[in-house]
């Protein structure tokens, strides 16, 4: 294939490059992040900076581990049920996502060392992601095909909390961060148009690209008065270059069949920097209010998405492909308010509300990059059994969100629409000693 064909190949890959960032468009919470971690955090809608006090504090505010009197194990399960996850476009597509049930899990262990001021912990957390699967979509090249982008970010976190004084606690958490992604962008489609290069398209599948990086989280909690506790958190930006995958490019329209590139790489994805402040107020002996404000650095987390693939298994194919797609994101602020009310010594109720404006400019959205959810309502309860066992459960509801947009890099016509609504179930078993 000569230089003009190579140019057409790069142009044809602009759509896959745009879709390469599969950031949980059907389970979009605060961008790609969940609104909370562990049931108390989630059921208070993420208002956890000053509240954190179980093992999920490792991933919210590690200083909160100091509120544990001895040791604790938490096992956490959650699942989102997509009530409405729709893509519509100018080609007549009006499709629901096919992956309507999205489970996640977490586990934490913490223990106060020798009864002293230091509490150590370790936990596994699902940070966010998920993805979208659309089957049987009409393509601009005739026929029907699939569009799938799946992405997940997990953490293994170890941390310490130091009770400096009876009022002040400091904490640090260090994480091994793992991300995995795969995508199928009209993989059965191949169209070569010598007269109109914009009509040239080669379907792409990218499998098993992954990243391993590290990150940290610093936290503090301060008991300002018997009824007021303050909290602060800083977490660094974690870049996640995804490597070591394979890209299969459908070049059958130019007689090359499906070409496998043995070295595929996606760059441009990151967990954003976070700065959070919060406060709790014990309004009565039974009722506690918690508030959090977080600033997330989405603008630096998403800028340009770069797809690189090299090492083809066909000597007549281009030796490598590269495409850069600009993504416009804005830093956003999360506002979270939670209420905790104890009915008695063993039964506690929770409620919360979380809001963050969706971080991506509408002209850079796509069917698999549409984290448009903004408003979340949570309700739940925890029950103590005996002296050591706790069970908590509740629901999170994402209010319906709909965005109409036109992205010239997505060849699905003008007037695209994304719609999203879901209910998530959260549950956690805890054992304390």
| Closest residue by Cα to residue 185 from 205, 214, 169 | 205
Q: What is the pLDDT of residue 423?
A: 96
The residue behind tokens 């900076």 is 49
Residue 329 corresponds to which tokens in the numbers above? 């994101």
With contact defined as beta carbons under 8 Å apart, do 54 and 65 qualify? no
Q: Which of 179, 152, 282, 154 is nearest to 225 (CA)?
A: 282
Q: Write out pLDDT tens, residues 211-245.
A: 999 999 999 999 999 999 999 999 999 999 999 99
- Quick check: helix, strand or coil at residue 14? helix
Q: Please, are residues 292 and 49 in contact by the beta-carbon 8 Å criterion? A: yes
Handedness of CA 165, 113, 431, 69 (dihedral sign): negative
Secondary structure of 164-176 in HEC code, one letter for each residue: CCCCEEEEEEEEE
Question: Domains in the chain, start-ordered, CATH in brackets?
Answer: 3-432 (2.40.160.60)
Give the pLDDT confidence score for residue 3 in this predicted structure: 43
| Cα 114 to Cα 127: distance, rounded to the nearest angstrom | 31
433's CB contacts (< 8 A; 6+ apart) are 70, 71, 72, 388
* pLDDT the model gives residue 149: 80
The angle subtended at Cα 75 by Cα 74 and Cα 79, nearest 5°, is 135
How far is the C-alpha of 345 from the C-alpha of 386, rounded, in Å? 11
DSSP state letter for 154:
E
Q: Which residues of the chain have pLDDT under 70?
A: 1-29, 129-131
pLDDT of residue 130: 58
Which one, of 88, 207, 180, 187, lies nearest residue 147 by Cα?
187
pLDDT of 365 reads 87
Rounded to whole angstroms, how far apart are CA atoms 99 and 299? 28
Scanning the structure block, which residue is given the tokens 């793992």? 178
Which residues have a Cβ under 8 Å from the Cβ of 270 and sit 6 or more positions away? Answer: 237, 238, 239, 240, 300, 301, 302
At 146 the pLDDT is 93
- The whole-number pLDDT of residue 371 equals 84
Q: How far apart are CA 371 and CA 365, in angstroms?
A: 8
Q: What does the alpha-carbon distance between residue 262 and residue 119 come to, in Å, rounded to a whole number?
A: 46
The dihedral sign for the CA sequence 50, 429, 349, 433: negative
- The structure tokens listed for 213 are 């990086």
Q: Give the Cα separation of 149 and 366 in Å (integer).
A: 11
Residue 420 sits at the vertex; the CA angle it makes with 415 and 421, to the nearest 5 degrees, is 150
pLDDT at 4 (0 to 100):
41
The 3-state DSSP class for residue 360 equals strand
How much is the pLDDT for 11? 35
């Amino acid at each position: 294939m000569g230089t003009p064909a190579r140019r057409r190949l790069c142009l044809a890959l602009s759509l896959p490059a745009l879709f390469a960032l599969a950031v949980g468009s059907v389970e979009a919470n605060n961008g790609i992040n969940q609104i909370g971690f562990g049931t108390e955090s989630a059921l208070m809608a993420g208002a956890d900076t000053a509240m954190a006090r179980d093992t999920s504090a490792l991933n919210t505010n590690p200083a909160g581990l100091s509120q544990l009197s001895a040791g604790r194990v938490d096992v956490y399960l959650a699942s989102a049920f997509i009530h409405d996850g729709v893509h519509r476009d100018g080609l007549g597509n009006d499709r629901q996502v096919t992956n309507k049930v999205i489970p996640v899990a977490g586990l934490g262990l913490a223990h106060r060392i020798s009864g002293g001021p230091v509490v150590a912990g370790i936990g596994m957390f699902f940070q966010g992601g998920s993805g979208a699967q659309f089957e049987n979509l009409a393509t601009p090249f005739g026929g029907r095909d699939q569009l799938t982008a799946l992405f997940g970010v997990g953490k293994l976190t170890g941390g310490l909390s130091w009770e400096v004084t009876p009022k002040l606690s400091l904490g640090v958490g260090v994480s091994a961060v793992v991300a995995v992604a795969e995508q199928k962008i009209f993989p059965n489609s191949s169209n070569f148009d010598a007269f109109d290069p914009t009509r040239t398209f080669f379907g792409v599948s990218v499998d098993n690209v992954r990243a391993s990086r590290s990150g940290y989280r610093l936290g503090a909690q301060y008991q300002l008065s018997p009824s007021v506790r303050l909290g602060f958190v800083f977490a660094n930006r974690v870049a996640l270059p995804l490597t070591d995958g394979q890209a299969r490019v459908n070049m059958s329209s130019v007689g090359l069949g499906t070409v496998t590139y043995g070295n595929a790489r996606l760059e441009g994805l990151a967990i954003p920097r976070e700065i959070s402040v919060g406060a709790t107020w014990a309004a009565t002996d039974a009722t506690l209010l918690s508030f959090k404000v977080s600033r997330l650095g989405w603008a630096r987390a998403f800028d340009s998405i770069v797809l690189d693939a090299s090492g083809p298994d066909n000597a007549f194919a281009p030796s490598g492909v590269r495409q850069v797609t600009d993504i416009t994101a804005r830093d956003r602020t999360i506002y979270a308010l939670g209420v905790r009310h104890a009915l008695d010594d063993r039964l506690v109720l929770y409620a919360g509300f979380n809001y963050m404006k969706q971080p991506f400019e509408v002209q850079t959205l796509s069917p698999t990059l549409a984290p448009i959810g903004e408003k979340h309502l949570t309700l739940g309860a925890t029950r103590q059994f005996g002296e050591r066992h706790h069970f908590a459960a509740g629901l999170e509801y994402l209010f319906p969100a709909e965005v109409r947009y036109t992205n010239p890099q997505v060849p699905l016509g003008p007037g695209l629409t994304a719609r999203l609504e879901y209910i998530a179930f959260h549950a956690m078993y805890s054992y304390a000693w």
